[in-house]
Amino acid sequence: FMKIAVITGASSGMGREFAIQLTKRETFDELWVIARREERLKELQEQCRTPVRVMVLDLMERESFDTYKDALAEHQPEIQVLVNAAGFGLFGTFMEMNLDQQLDIIELNDKALTAMSYLSVPYMPAGSDIVNLASNSSWQPVPYINVYGSSKAYVLNFSRALGVELKDRGIH
Contacts 24+ apart (CB under 8 A), 21-24: 22/81, 22/83, 23/48, 23/49, 23/50, 24/49
Q: Are 6 and 57 in contact (CB under 8 A)?
A: no
Q: Are 108 and 60 in contact (CB under 8 A)?
A: yes
Q: In this structure, is the dihedral angle defined by the CA atoms of residues 143, 147, 148 and 150, taken in order, positive or negative?
A: positive
Give the pLDDT confidence of 139-159 residue by residue, as tens digits.
998 999 999 999 999 999 999
Give the pLDDT confidence of 94-142 residue by residue, as tens digits.
999 999 999 999 999 999 999 999 999 999 999 999 999 999 889 998 9
